[in-house]
Amino acid sequence: MGNVPSTVKHCLSSEQLLLDYPWLKSWLLEKKEIVPTEVKIQLINMLSGTGLSVIEATSFVSSKWVPQMADHSDVLRGIQRAPHVRYPVLTPNLQGFQDAVAAGASEVAVFGSASETFSQKNINCSIDESMVRFEDVINSALEKHIPVRGYVSCVLGCPHEGYIEPAKVAEVARRLYELGCYEISLGDTIGVGTPGSTSKMLQSVVKEVPPQALAVHCHDTYGQALANILTALQMGVSVVDSAVAGLGGCPYAQGSSGNVSTEDVLYMLHGMGIETGVSLPKVIEAGEFICTALHRRTNSKVAQAQSVKF
């Protein structure tokens, strides 16, 4: 069954990546919309009724860093958990993990990087140091039989370092997998990848991690996401991350898009006869809800076309 997680957390916390750009942070502070807890809960509840089997709910990161996720415990406790749906939460360290468990988390995720510089700027430590932190989280999680998903960012390029060696991506993915992550999501953080670089990167990674344990998390900043996802599918990957309405811009290209839209991904997969178990009309509905709440247009071309066609 093609698993299509919807990264609700990710799409609402792009501010996390802006800490190093004070001017952008102030712009954002002027403009940013902290989404009320009840709106987040309603969004997740709507997504729970679409057939999605994985919905990333929130992030147990310090509210000092990511104010948007300050209500993490309230969100996790407030949602109506549907049977057959999992609600992973991000837990960057042991403290976050413990808070997540206290709030009822039954699946967690850790977020590593293939770029040394990005790791330093994003989570204030080297890749090696981050692995030590993750090992603590993963060991604690596995003791409690809580599955852990691993993310690798910058797999096709870094905003600071530029080109990232596929072998480096493979190494970081392998380390997370060996630490005990059941699945590794490979993120094209700045959306610069193409079918060419996606293919090269995956050729390296699959030597270290089996394709069945891989996911792709493509950003659509350069319009390449669906082509990259198609390439990944053709190479044996069958898990795709996406965000309803394509929420979450790109902090590295102001005004540009970030996450690929769940609606557009579903349209493609269904058109190819691939089962997802997800209802596209219901996802479009959830997208309309959150865009109205955020006073913004959807980034999904499918949703746009469906809303106006005659």
Residues marked active site are found at 250
User: Looking at beta carbons only, is 131 or 239 nearer to a second copy?
Assistant: 239
CB of 72 to a second copy, least distance (A): 28
- Phi/psi at 174 (nearest 5 deg)? -60, -45
Binding segment toward a second copy, per CB under 8 A, in 36-44, 120-128, 161-169, 297-305: 297-305
> CA 50 from chain center: how many Å?
18
- Residue 243 token pair: 């965000």
Name the H helices within 103-126. Answer: 116-123
Question: Given candidates 88, 187, 193, 287, which one binds a second copy under the rule CB under 8 A?
Answer: 193
| Contact call for residue 242 and a second copy (CB under 8 A) | no
CB of 4 to a second copy, least distance (A): 11
CB of 91 to a second copy, least distance (A): 23
Residue 242, beta-bridge partner list: 6
Going across the sheet that includes 183-188, the strands are 58-59, 89-90, 108-113, 148-153, 183-188, 214-218, 240-241
User: Looking at beta carbons only, is 39 or 274 nearer to a second copy?
Assistant: 274
| Contact call for residue 204 and a second copy (CB under 8 A) | no
Other C-beta atoms closer than 10 Å to the C-beta of 296 total 13
| Contact call for residue 162 and a second copy (CB under 8 A) | no
Binding segment toward a second copy, per CB under 8 A, in 91-99, 141-149, 267-275, 282-290: 267-275
| Contact call for residue 287 and a second copy (CB under 8 A) | no
- Residue 266 token pair: 């579903």
d(CA 128, CA 92): 14
Size of the site for a second copy (CB under 8 A): 55
d(CA 153, CA 91): 15
Question: Given candidates 35, 142, 167, 230, which one binds a second copy under the rule CB under 8 A?
Answer: 230
| Contact call for residue 292 and a second copy (CB under 8 A) | no
d(CA 152, CA 112): 5
Other C-beta atoms closer than 10 Å to the C-beta of 237 total 22
Residue numbers at the binding site for a second copy (CB under 8 A): 1-3, 191, 193-197, 199, 203, 211-213, 220-224, 226-227, 229-231, 233-236, 238-239, 250, 252-257, 261, 264, 267-268, 270-275, 300-302, 304-305, 308-310
